[in-house]
Structure 1
């Protein structure tokens, strides 16, 4: 609702104020709230799909709806200007929430650099606008999806971003962060990925997973569960669920643990000519769901769950690091930056060969889980005969 009121006043506010200095400029603009950028390799063309918000009267009420405007050009700037041929107005990007790029854009270094460079140079775009990588064939498919709560896809995506902490299977990256990681030694950038999923009779946009870049080129992908481990490593896990499977005399039991708080400390240790990255996590959780009547909330049960959760976290963190090391050779964890801070002289010697050093890094992980409670119940529900 706040978004609707906000845009409503952007569009109509100047009509209520006489003599406003930028009255003409606002009324001559179409408000873009999001964009999808694709690349036609054969024609060497940027394909732009902009989501334009506009007010309309429906059943006596003013509502904000959106339309998709398509244009193309030799670069993003030309594609944006060419949109005037369709809208009759210049696109205003001051309140744009998201920019979705396709796999084809992410694989082409020059195209991606050109797009980012333009957005960074243009004062109209916000520095904290979110960048997203489409897992579909095109980025425009995401803007064509159905919405559930919002009427506008870009606003729906923004809502998903704002509630990132409750899931932990994607990580919001703003424009400035992506550019900063590109320019920083010892770390490679990532982007959250979005896909089209079925929900009842609808096709919706679902945030899930992480795109891995090496420099400015996309080289790999982590799924949602792998992304959660990635967030543990970079100390960005804010919430979500850890599901552990505990063996019992009857059958394996799944136990859901809600993450309340986590702190990860990582440090490189250089000894005997070898670098070891030591990762320590401390996680506070609640037992939130049991699928069996066996009591895991007593002292012995909690100890078993704690031990299992710690082992699972350690194994998954090691697994994600190993996968990225061997398959993608991209230091998305920032281990190189850690080495530079702790051992600046060593970094000067090895930075040119960091790709190879990163592949062979020794990793030690220690997880500590603190089970604080079991939500509103002390025991699981028993079903009578």
Structure 2
């Protein structure tokens, strides 16, 4: 039996998506999920975006971020890095790395944190005739690589690393939310769907205005990153000097 070209291509695409999914830079979107997102209340659909590039061996397929839809119409694309932020909001992070700066004002002191698990809760709220959403992200990591000269056996430095990692992740997520609100106007996060499911009486009253509400929606992002196994640190784990 000789596999057809379409079968080979399908397997190659699956491998690409699996690899990138494990880095939190691709979303696995089965057909039924895409159809549900197109037809569901308060959510816009997304699909992985692929492109063909030239290299020394000819043409190759690679992942190029995520395609954004509104209803059934393509609106545009977001990058791999923005897809990384989207994966956290959608609670689709299965692995990957958080790269943080111990001293954010420099790009030299970086620490790599391997993601063990991550959980996201989206909580819609209605108060004083106004809708808002709170996004709570809890992520467990362990130290993968310390490329800085900072001694992470120092408790204060560990606290700084945790704080900076949380702030840097929060910033990336907030920038993506702002881009969707001010640009495409596509609720790819499903904030409206969380209102529909959790506060149905409010959705019944406000649902038809969701496009407008989404653009002005007050979204609070809270990130908590736990760094495990720091007790195993030794001087030898430091790579840069």
TM-score by length of 2: 0.90
Q: Distance in 1 between matches of 2:200 and 2:135?
A: 20
Which residue in the other structure is 2:177 paired with? 321
Structure 2 spans left out of the alignment, 5+ residues: none
Alignment of 1:96-135 (within 5 A): none
Q: Distance in 1 between matches of 2:117 and 2:171?
A: 20
- Over aligned residues, Cα RMSD in angstroms? 2.5
Structure 2 counterpart of 1:286, from 117, 142, 146: 142
Larger radius of gyration: 1
Shift of 1:342: 2.1
Alignment of 1:243-262 (within 5 A): 243-247=99-103, 252-262=108-118
Cα gap change, 1:353 to 1:381, in 2 (>3 Å): closer
Name which structure has the greater RCO, CA cutoff 8 Å, separation 6+.
2
Answer yes or no: is 1:191 the counterpart of 2:22: no
Give the number of aligned pairs: 240
Cα gap change, 1:348 to 1:256, in 2 (>3 Å): same
- Whichever structure has more helix as a proportion of its residues is 2
Does the CA contact (< 8 Å) of 2:119 and 2:139 recur in 1?
A: yes
Q: Distance in 2 between matches of 1:331 and 1:382?
A: 42
Structure 1 counterpart of 2:200, from 311, 320, 344: 344
Q: 3-state DSSP class of the match of 2:10?
A: helix
Shift of 1:198: 5.5
Which residue in the other structure is 1:242 paired with? 98
Cα gap change, 1:259 to 1:197, in 2 (>3 Å): farther
Shift of 1:154: 2.0
Structure 1 spans left out of the alignment, 5+ residues: 1-7, 9-54, 56-63, 69-95, 97-151
Cα gap change, 1:375 to 1:327, in 2 (>3 Å): farther
